[in-house]
């Protein structure tokens, strides 16, 4: 049985940002439904919302996992290109980079600022 460690590594690094993305977006939509308007940074402070504690642990864990994944993605891609020069799987690389980009854009969006 042949194991494809590169494929597994890229899939893990591509899927980890979605935990952060989904948890933050679900919290944002829940806050919007409760407040009746789209919350902005510190208006209201998320800690003042009654349901914040239900989301805070999940968001904190997933943002931490995403940060580790984000830092490791570029060295992973560089190592992959060095080792697998002629057999590069561009679909995995693009999927990994696009999920990291979506999470990065969300991190610097109006939701957190």
In the chain, where the domains are located: 5-107
Closest alpha carbon to 47 in 63, 37, 59, 65: 59
Q: What percent of the chain has pLDDT over 70?
A: 96
Please identify which residue in the block is written with the tokens 């610097």: 108
Q: CB of 42 within 8 A of CB of 77?
A: no
Enter the tokens of residue 21: 């993305």
Using the predicted structure, report yes or no on whether residue 43 has a pLDDT greater than 80: no
pTM as predicted? 0.82
| Share of residues in the chain with pLDDT > 90 (%) | 35
């Amino acid at each position: 049985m042949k194991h494809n460690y590169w494929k597994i590594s890229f899939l893990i690094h591509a899927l980890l940002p979605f935990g952060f993305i989904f948890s933050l977006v679900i919290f944002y939509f829940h806050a919007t439904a409760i407040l009746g308007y789209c919350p902005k940074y510190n208006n209201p402070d998320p800690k003042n919302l009654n349901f914040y504690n239900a989301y805070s642990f999940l968001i904190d864990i997933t943002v931490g996992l995403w940060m580790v994944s984000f830092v490791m993605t570029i060295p992973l891609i560089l190592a992959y290109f060095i080792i697998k020069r002629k057999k590069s799987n561009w679909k995995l690389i693009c999927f990994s980079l696009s999920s990291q980009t979506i999470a990065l854009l969300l991190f610097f969006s109006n939701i957190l600022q």
